[in-house]
Every structure is written in structure tokens, then in C-alpha cells.
Amino acid sequence: MTVTIRPCRPDDAETLVIMIRELATYEHLEDFARAAPEALRSHLFGSRPFAEALIAESEGQPAGFALFFGTYSTFRGQPGLYLEDIYVREELRGLGIGTALLSAVAKVALERGCGRLEWSVLDWNKPALDFYRGHGARPLDDWTVYRIDDEALTRLAKSAPGQS
């Protein structure tokens, strides 16, 4: 089996959305998967890209993806990368595609002078937890991820000084 990893292109947006929905189904989060091809084209390839993606192909067919973006550590005084999602199609798992994607993102991080690569994992996803630990990742048990979105985000933004 031949696996290639390449940067995502604008014409991959539809395929990327399909795989994002597959990932959402696997994670039991289908109701939250709202990404559309047009949004991905704008956010990945527009005048101010917010993220990047790599596509894994097996025998010329889409096999998975990794989507990541830059971060910055004030304590380290150094950039980092945040791996938003990594996904390998179910029928292709266990063939080294996930490792190829993760190592490709790690290579990008090092090429850019990043000091770390971080991501979040659902607590119940034992295969993912085992996969990441097998590559030397460690959980940050002292940290809790917080999120604010939708109406709460709008409400908070409206309370910013100089906003109405």
C-alpha cells in the first residue's frame, strides 16, 4: 500500500468536509459538524488563512487528514502548532496512515521553529489515547479545556469596551 501526505488544496474542500463528517460521526458529534466547502476554502486558502490541512492518500484515494494552526507560548517565548483534528478512514486504520499524518505535522512544527505540538482527545477514545501515548505524547492532567461559543460568545463580545 502506497501512502502519500500532501498539503490540502482548494479543490479538496468537498472531500475534507466528507471526512470531517465521518470524524464527527465517529466521535458522536454529528450535530456539531457544520463545516461547508466554501468555508474551508475561505478559511484555509483565503487572504488570511486560519488553519492548514494535510491530506493522506492511499492508492490515490483520500485516506485521512490532519488540520492544524499556529499557537504561541508566552512562557516558552516560542511558537507551537495545535492539531485540531487528525482522522483516518475506519477501513484504513492500523496501516500507519495516522502515524504518517502525525509525523508530517511534527515535521512542519520543527521546520517552523515550534517548541511543541498540542491537541485534545476525547476521554473515552481509548484507541486515540493509546496511539498518541505510543508516540510519546503525554496528557496535561492539570489543565482543563474551556470553550465559549454561540450566544455566550456574542454576549461576551458585546460587553467589550467600546462595543455596542
Nearest-5° Cα angle at 14, 12 to 18: 115
Structural contact between residues 54 and 6, judged by C-beta atoms closer than 8 angstroms: yes
List phi, psi (to 5°) of 73.
Answer: -100, 115
Report d(CA 40, CA 45) in Å as an integer.
8
**pLDDT for residue 66:** 98
164 domain-assigned: no
Question: End-to-end alpha-carbon separation of the chain, Å?
Answer: 57
Specify if 70 maps to a domain.
Answer: yes
pLDDT of residue 1: 74
Mean pLDDT of 18-37: 96
Using one digit for the tens of pLDDT, what is the confidence trace for 123-157? 999 999 999 999 999 999 999 889 999 999 999 99
| Domain at 81, CATH number | 3.40.630.30
Q: Is residue 84 part of a domain?
A: yes
163, part of any domain: no
Residue pLDDT, tens place only, 55-84: 999 999 999 999 999 999 999 999 999 999
pTM score, two decimals?
0.92
Q: Are 22 and 30 in contact (CB under 8 A)?
A: no
* Amino acid 162: pLDDT: 85
For residue 117, give its domain range.
Answer: 3-158
Active site residue 82: no
User: How much is the mean pLDDT over the chain?
Assistant: 95
Residue 49 falls inside a structural domain: yes
Domain tally, the chain? 1
CA distance 15 to 96: 21
Residue 135 forms part of a structural domain: yes
Catalytic residue among 26, 72, 82, 132: 132
Sheet containing strand 61-73, edge to edge, reads 3-7, 52-58, 61-73, 78-88, 117-118
